[in-house]
Amino acid sequence: MFSDNQDDFWNAVMSKDRGFDGQFVFAVSSTGIYCRPSCPSRRPKRENVSFFALPAAAESAGFRACLRCHPEDVRTTDPQIEMVQQVCRLIETSDGESITLAALSEQVGVSSFHLQRTFKSIMGMSPSEYAETRRVNKFKQSVQAGEKITGAIYDAGFGSSSRLYELAPSQLGMTPATYGKGGRGAVIHFAIGDSPLGRLLVAATDKGVCSVRLGDSDEQLTTELQREFFAAEIRLDESRLQPALNAVVDHLNDKTPRIDLPLDIRATAFQRQVWEQLQKIPAGKTYSYSEVAKGIGQEKAVRAVARACASNPVALVIPCHRVIREDKSLGGYRWGLDRKKKLLEREARAK
């Protein structure tokens, strides 16, 4: 089974250990690319790295395969991971047609219960959720290649347009029609200012805040926002976003106990469940990843919880910094471990 010891994974990445090729891939949030451990590329910052058992899991999370090391071509040595990889291939080659859990389990020779449990523990989602994610990604690719909306919907395997429209708020962040227009009509306003943790970006749609980011430079923050919302029209609007920016800064300066802002964020059902649980953690306290998993009734989904924390789009508003490892070490943080340490120290003093 896929190990939870991410320190070993990171050491393998830093040493470019070929012995770990096939055991996991690592993905870099700042580039959107995933690699095998032995990839010759320059090593990224630890806080920008996530680990996945399979290339398929990294791709479902929105990462692209590295063109230097071709991590998707490496075979795994773990029989459980190999089984999940086989199921992924069956789903990928089903030509968009619905394939049942019973049919999948029969083809790989295990029970439906065992397949569902093993697949979810490794991929962080069920086979049906993986199939749905694949269809949405295929729709995106077709539209970006210039195909018309209706054709892209059916070519991706959706039996009707209504199903994709149901998924649109969480999977696309906009309606399929708007997505197909390259984001025309989807406008995101943003502002950047100083904070006790460095430069702070807050972005919002007309419905609510969609991104809160911490960084070292305005250029970095703006580039990351544009990469995440590539199909939308991005506008700098300091006057519109100043109240939201002030709300975050006031919280960091201990003027307010929490950040109350309307949100408009994309999330899978599992991510939303995790993020809602994080918002229940009071300032001054920390939970382990396993405690969060137990809190949502999925105690074996520890790795999936860690990935949900790493993909949190609204720093501080959803306090993913309050989640640490079982051994009390900090774990990861999308915006840097030094910032996570300062946040926890500040909240402990104010408790």
For residue 52, the SS3 value is strand
Q: What is each CA distance from 221 to 71, 199, 215, 248, in whole angstroms?
A: 28, 8, 6, 16
Q: With beta carbons less than 8 A apart as the criterion, state whether 263 and 206 touch.
A: no
Task: Give the separation between CA 107 and CA 88, rounded to whole angstroms.
Answer: 12
Q: What is d(CA 46, CA 14) in angstroms, rounded to the nearest whole number?
A: 10
* Residues with Cβ within 8 Å of residue 339, at least 6 apart in sequence: 197, 198, 214, 321, 333
CA distance 27 to 62: 10
Would strands 64-65 and 33-35 be described as parallel, antiparallel, or unpaired?
Answer: parallel
DSSP 74-122: PPP--HHHHHHHHHHHHHHTSTT----HHHHHHHHTS-HHHHHHHHHHH
- Is residue 39 flagged as an active site residue? no
One-letter identity of residue 75:
R
Task: Count CA atoms within 13 Å of residue 264 on its CB side.
Answer: 19
Evaluated on CA atoms 303, 307, 309, 310, the torsion sign reads positive
Helix%, strand%, coil% for the chain, nearest 5: 50, 15, 40
- Tokens 């949900």 map to which residue? 308
Q: What is the rounded distance in angstroms from the CA atom of residue 2 to the CA atom of residue 295? A: 22
Helices 112-123 and 79-92: crossing angle, nearest 10°?
A: 90
Contact 176, 144 (CB under 8 A): no
Among residues 35, 66, 210, 309, which one is catalytic? 35
The one catalytic residue in 69, 210, 309, 320 is 320
CA distances to 1, 6, 48 from 12, rounded to whole Å, are 18, 10, 16
Has 69 been annotated as catalytic? Answer: no
Instruction: Report the catalytic residues.
Output: 35, 320
